[in-house]
Amino acid sequence: MAMDLRQIVAALLTLSMFLMLANMIKRDHFDSLQINLPVTSSVENDVIKVTERSLAKLPVVSKSPWKEDLEAAPKPCWSKPEISSGPECHASQIADGVAVARYLGATLVLPNIVAMGSKPRVRRYLGDIYDVEKILNTLDDIVRVTKYQPNEPNKGKLIRVPSRVSGNYIEQNIAPVFRKRGSSRLEIYCPSAQMIDEEKTKHLDSFACLTMFGTLQLQPELQQVVESVVNRLRNFSQKTNGKFVAVDLQKGCLGSAQGARKMCYHAEEVGKFLKKIGFDRDTTIYLTQSQWSSSLDSLGEFFPNTYTKESMLSADKKTKFLNSEISDMEKVIDFYICSQSDVFVPATFGLFYSTVAGMRIASGRNQILVPSQIMTSSVATEYVSPYISEKNHLAYSCCC
């Protein structure tokens, strides 16, 4: 049947509109469709498997103090808080914040850090020191975490949270406030060295293990500073195959003692200790000191290749991290260099030593040599830290 001109035009318009509609549906409904696959968590369960396999086998006695670490690191099984003090506290404090948020089913707002040695108190953003995106990604499947402040910040009183907070404490002291207000402000205490020593037989759950040993990573600039210092120290250590010693040496040590145990050693005592157990004059040593002082001369006579941060950092980094009344950034640099050195010698006993030991255990660096007030042996293995020789550090509960 013949069609007139008007019918032909109408048919063409109808076909054109159909094609346009199909194209719109395709763009708006199909092109924008995305399938988001769930992220697989590295945490399988909260049961920690501990085997009898030695994580820190002591090397065979030899004349050389340089020993080999494990071939690989041990296998891990693993409300808005405010945290304070130095890097030796941060991982434990954040682990407690995670524990509280998980118990309450709350969102954890990443904390501020109260800088050490600052008057009035200076609060740093967590991202000034650590890689925030790394923290968020690691904790993503454990607890809800945000780096943003709530629209209506809680102005309530700070609730003090003890280290290794228990479920009973949360239920009795934090949960009532949270359920009433819908949020809580937490001030989390730093653990003491004595607490870590007393917890040597305790087992952490896998969430605490992951938070303490797998979450915190320095932000890129600080990470670059640490890597630069470590690389320079290794370059200075050609005669010892790139190996160096880090010594945590604090100012003002007068040889104080706690009972029968000497709590710190000064520079000359450290120099005599290292020489006696076999470290030669060419050994490269890093000191946790900002700059050289006359009190270090005696150590320098034993080991001329001894360096402080002042001699290791570039001019711009010295201006940024050393020339300040606030010493927290210096402590961060020291902490991570001591955690990565081939040998660590704590000349001061306290939380810094205990926490660095935990970091080294978790990464397979088991060469920690502790000075002794009475030195009856010249064999380095006789002075291996009890944390290693007796495997009595909390970090072992996080390793298989």
How far is residue 214's CA from residue 138's CA, in Å, rounded to a whole number? 8
User: Amino acid identity of 99?
Assistant: A
Question: How far, in whole angstroms, is CA 359 from its chain's centroid?
Answer: 7
Instruction: Give the pLDDT band of residue 58 (cuts 50, 70, 90).
Output: very low
20-29, 113-122, 204-213, 384-393 — which one is most confidently predicted on average?
384-393
Please tell me the predicted confidence (pLDDT) of residue 10.
43
Instruction: Give the pLDDT band of residue 154 (cuts 50, 70, 90).
Output: low
**Is residue 371 within 8 Å of residue 277, measured between CB atoms?**
no
Here the tokens at position 70 are 């494990």
Burial 114-150 (b: 16+ CB within 10 A, else e): bbbeeeeeeeeebebbbbbeebeebbeebbebeeeee
Instruction: Give the pLDDT band of residue 155 (cuts 50, 70, 90).
Output: low
Q: How many CA atoms lie within 13 A of 207 on its CB side?
A: 17
- Classify 119 in phi/psi space as left (phi over 0), alpha (psi -120 to 50) or beta: beta
Please tell me the predicted confidence (pLDDT) of residue 56.
38
Instruction: Give the pLDDT band of residue 254 (cuts 50, 70, 90).
Output: low
User: Amino acid identity of 90?
Assistant: H
Please tell me the predicted confidence (pLDDT) of residue 364.
93
φ, ψ of residue 134 to 5 degrees: the values are -60, -45
Please tell me the predicted confidence (pLDDT) of residue 120.
58
Instruction: Give the pLDDT band of residue 256 (cuts 50, 70, 90).
Output: low
Residue 6 has pLDDT above 50, yes or no: no
Better pLDDT: 105 or 53: 105
Residue 22 has pLDDT above 50, yes or no: no
pTM: 0.78
How far is residue 397's CA from residue 375's CA, in Å, rounded to a whole number? 32
Here the tokens at position 220 are 């890129």
Here the tokens at position 47 are 């049961």
How far is residue 31's CA from residue 153's CA, in Å, rounded to a whole number? 40
Over residues 362-374, mean pLDDT: 92
Mean pLDDT is lowest, of 13-22, 270-279, 378-387, for 13-22
φ, ψ of residue 258 to 5 degrees: the values are -125, 100
14-23, 133-142, 320-329 — which one is most confidently predicted on average?
133-142
Over residues 264-290, mean pLDDT: 95
Instruction: Give the pLDDT band of residue 325 (cuts 50, 70, 90).
Output: low
Mean pLDDT is lowest, of 56-65, 284-293, 303-312, 316-325, for 56-65
Please tell me the predicted confidence (pLDDT) of residue 375.
83
User: Amino acid identity of 123?
Assistant: R
Please tell me the predicted confidence (pLDDT) of residue 28.
36
Over residues 179-198, mean pLDDT: 83
Please tell me the predicted confidence (pLDDT) of residue 121.
66
**Is residue 399 within 8 Å of residue 362, measured between CB atoms?**
yes
Over residues 130-159, mean pLDDT: 85
**Is residue 276 within 8 Å of residue 375, measured between CB atoms?**
yes
Distances, alpha carbon 6 to alpha carbons 13, 15, 20, 350, in Å: 11, 14, 21, 95
Mean pLDDT is lowest, of 123-132, 324-333, 336-345, for 324-333
Over residues 246-259, mean pLDDT: 75
Mean pLDDT is lowest, of 77-81, 86-90, 292-296, for 77-81
Burial class (CB in 10 A: 0-12, 13-18, 19+), 208: buried
What percentage of the chain reaches a pLDDT higher than 70? 74
**Is residue 356 within 8 Å of residue 339, measured between CB atoms?**
yes
Residue 59 has pLDDT above 90, yes or no: no
Residue 330 has pLDDT above 80, yes or no: yes
Residue 311 has pLDDT above 90, yes or no: yes
Over residues 155-162, mean pLDDT: 83
